[in-house]
Amino acid sequence: MQGFLQSVGYESWVLPALLIIPLIGATVLLLLGQTGGSTAGSDSANGQARAIAFGVLLVEFLVSAGLWWSFNPANPGWHAAIDSAWIPNWGIRFTLGIDGIALMMILLTTLIMPLTVLGSWTSIKTKVHTYFALMMILTSGMLGVFMARDLFLFYVMWEVMLVPMYFIIGIWGGERRLYASIKFFVYTMLPSLLMLVAILYLGVHGGSGGVPNFSYDNLVSHPTLAPRAALWLFGAFFAAFAVKVPMFPFHTWLPDAHVEAPTAGSVILAGIMLKMGTFGFLRFALPLFPGAAMNPTVRAGIITLAVIGIIYGALVAMVQPDFKKLVAYSSVSHLGFVMLGIFALTLQSVQGALMIMINHGISTGALFLLIGMIYERKHSRLIDSYGGIARVVPVFAALLTLVSLSSIGLPGTNGFIGEFLVLIGAFKPYPVFATIAATGVIFAAAYLLWAIQRILFNPLDKKDNEHIPDLNWREIGLMVPFIIVIIWLGVYPAPVLRRMEPSAQRLVTTVAEGVQRVSQPAEPVVATATASATR
C-alpha cells in the first residue's frame, strides 16, 4: 500500500485535493440546483443530488484513507506538507500539513460525512441541492482547520466552517431554529473575533522587516512574547476554543443548536465541530502560549471548569425530557474529560483526550443518527413519548443499546479506552480532580441507561408505538461502520494510539520546555542573587 501511494506522489497532493473535492461537489450541486429549472425540487432531481453528495464524500473518504498507510509515526515532522505563498504582502502563506492528531481528526471527518448524507437521505425534503452543497463546503472548512499550518489560513477555515452550519440549522432545523442558529452564530462568532485580533497581533509581532509572519512553526519555535501579553493572547484563543468545546459555562448554545439542527447538523456538530475547540487547544493555545496555559492559576481554573463540566453535564443530561438535549448535555460531560486530559498534560491523559475526541465523534454521532431515525418515524424526540419499543423495533433497540454502552464507556468498546487513559493520566498530577471526574462514569450510566429504559423497555403502553417500522437496510448499513469502529477501537486501539503517540509526546514536551523557558528568563535574577551573596 505504501509503495503504491508513493508511486502516485500521494503525499504531495492529498491535502489540497481533500479541500477541493468537496468544493467541486458543491459547485456541481449548486449548478444542478439552478439549471434544473422546473425539475429542481422533484424527487428524481433530489435523488440525484443525494447520490452526488454521497458519491463525492465517498471519494473524499477513499482519498483520505490513504493517509492511514502513508503516515509514518516515526517521522516527527509535518506529513503531506504543502507550502506556497498566498498573500505575500501580509506574510500570509498557504501552508498545510498534518501530524498524528490531525490525521485521526481528518479520518474521523471523512468517515462521518458520507454517513451523515446517508442519514439525511429521506429527512431533507426542501432545497436539497443547497443543503448538500452546504455540507460539502462545511467538509472543506473543517478539514482546512485540521490541516492549516498558517494562523491566518486557520482563521479563514475556522470561519468557513461556521457559516454553512449556521444555515443548516437556520433553514432545515426544527421549530425554534432561528433562535438556535443565531445563538450558535453569535456565541461562536464573538470570541472568534477576539481570536482574530490575537492572531493579527501574533502575526505582526512575529514578523520581521515590516512583513507579518503567520507561520505556525515560526511562532511556536520563536516565542518572544512578554508573559503578560501571552496571557491576554491565550485568553482570546481560550474564549474562541472554550465556546466551541463547549466548556462549562460557555455551553448553552449547544443544547439549542443540537435540538434544532437537522440530524446531519447534530451529527456534524457533535461528531466533528466540537473537536475544533479541543483541537485548537492542542494545536494552538498550548504550544503557542505554554507559559500562560500552564500558569498554575489558569491551569487549575480550566481543570476545575472541566471537572465541573463532567459532573454538571451528566447531571443536567439526566433530567432532560428531550433525548437530543440529553445527548447534547452528555457532550458537555464528555468534552470535560477531554479538557481534563489536555490540561493534565501527561502522555496518557493527552492520548486519552485524543481517543475521547475520536470516540465521542463516533458514539455521539451514532446516537444522533439513531435519534434521527426514530424521529423520522414518530416525529417526537421526547423520551416519554416512547416506552417498550424494543419489542417493535428490535434492530433499532440492539443498535441503540450498543451505542449507548459505548458512550458510557463500557470496557471492550471505544468509550472506555479514552476515559480510562484520561483518568489514569490525570490521576498522578491531579488525584483529587481525577477522582471527582471518575464519578462521571456513574452518572453517565445513570442518565443513558435510564433514558434507554424509558425508550426501549418498560411496558409498550402507547398505542401508536405498536406499529413503528424497524430500521431499513440503508439505515442498518450506515450504522455498520460505526459499530465496527466502536468495537475495533475498544478491543484493538493500539494502531491508532501508535499513530498519535509521537504528536502527543511532542505536545507534552514542547509545552514543558516552553514553561521552563518562560519561567527562567531567570538568568539576571540569579546573577543579582549571587551578586548580593558575594557582597
Interactions with another protein, residue window 112-151 (CB under 8 A): 122-123, 127, 130, 133-134, 137, 140-141
Stretch that binds another protein, among 83-91, 226-234, 276-284, 335-343 (CB under 8 A): 83-91
Question: Rounded to whole angstroms, how far apart are CA atoms 235 and 230?
Answer: 8
Nearer to another protein, 295 or 404 (CB): 404
Question: Rounded to whole angstroms, how far apart are CA atoms 14 and 30?
Answer: 25
Q: Give φ, ψ of 4 to 5 degrees.
A: -60, -45
Question: Rounded to whole angstroms, how far apart are CA atoms 62 and 14?
Answer: 11
Beta strands in 88-241 (DSSP E): 92-98
Residue with cell 466552517: 161
Amino acid letter, 368: F
Residues 310-349 that bind another protein (CB under 8 A): 312, 315-316, 318-320, 347-348
Residues 497-526 that bind another protein (CB under 8 A): 497-498, 501, 505
Question: Rounded to whole angstroms, how far apart are CA atoms 430 and 410?
Answer: 24
Angle at 459 (CA atoms; ends 453, 462), nearest 5 degrees: 105
Stretch that binds another protein, among 7-15, 228-236, 237-245, 448-456 (CB under 8 A): 448-456
Nearer to another protein, 28 or 231 (CB): 28
Residue 231: Cβ-neighbour burial (10 angstroms; 0-12, 13-18, 19+) = middle
Among 11, 60, 260, 475, binds another protein (CB under 8 A): 475
Question: Rounded to whole angstroms, how far apart are CA atoms 169 and 292?
Answer: 36
Least distance to another protein, CB of residue 225, Å: 28
Nearer to another protein, 165 or 518 (CB): 165
User: Residue 373 interacts with another protein (CB under 8 A)?
Assistant: yes
Stretch that binds another protein, among 217-225, 288-296, 451-459, 510-518 (CB under 8 A): 451-459
User: Residue 187 interacts with another protein (CB under 8 A)?
Assistant: yes
Question: Rounded to whole angstroms, how far apart are CA atoms 481 and 353?
Answer: 22
User: Residue 382 interacts with another protein (CB under 8 A)?
Assistant: no
How far does CA 186 lie from the centroid of its chain? 19
User: Residue 438 interacts with another protein (CB under 8 A)?
Assistant: yes
Residue with cell 439525511: 120
User: Residue 160 interacts with another protein (CB under 8 A)?
Assistant: yes
Residue with cell 518562560: 518
State the binding string over 411-430 for another protein (x if CB under 8 A, else -). Answer: xx---xx--xx-xxx-xx--
Among 221, 472, 509, 516, binds another protein (CB under 8 A): 472
Among 5, 200, 382, 460, binds another protein (CB under 8 A): 460
Residues 1-40 that bind another protein (CB under 8 A): 16, 19-20, 23, 26-27, 30, 33-34
Q: Which residues make beta-bridge pairs with 92?
A: 87
Around Cβ 3, how many Cβ atoms within 10 Å? 7
Among 191, 388, 415, 514, binds another protein (CB under 8 A): 388
Least distance to another protein, CB of residue 532, Å: 41
Nearer to another protein, 91 or 223 (CB): 91
Nearer to another protein, 467 or 535 (CB): 467
Q: Are 327 and 368 in contact (CB under 8 A)?
A: yes
Q: Are 253 and 189 in contact (CB under 8 A)?
A: no
User: Residue 493 interacts with another protein (CB under 8 A)?
Assistant: yes
Least distance to another protein, CB of residue 226, Å: 31
Question: Rounded to whole angstroms, how far apart are CA atoms 313 and 338?
Answer: 13
Among 471, 486, 511, 518, binds another protein (CB under 8 A): 471
Size of the site for another protein (CB under 8 A): 113
Residues 87-106 that bind another protein (CB under 8 A): 87, 94
User: Residue 457 interacts with another protein (CB under 8 A)?
Assistant: yes
Around Cβ 115, how many Cβ atoms within 10 Å? 25
Stretch that binds another protein, among 263-271, 273-281, 295-303, 434-442 (CB under 8 A): 434-442
Nearer to another protein, 125 or 517 (CB): 125
Residues 245-284 that bind another protein (CB under 8 A): 249, 252-253, 255
Q: Which residues make beta-bridge pairs with 382?
A: 322
Q: Are 515 and 431 in contact (CB under 8 A)?
A: no
Q: Are 63 and 25 in contact (CB under 8 A)?
A: no
Angle of helix 394-407 relative to helix 473-491, nearest 10 degrees, comes to 30
Nearer to another protein, 203 or 409 (CB): 409
The radius of gyration computed from the CA coordinates of the chain, to the nearest angstrom, equals: 23
Least distance to another protein, CB of residue 331, Å: 14
Nearer to another protein, 218 or 380 (CB): 380
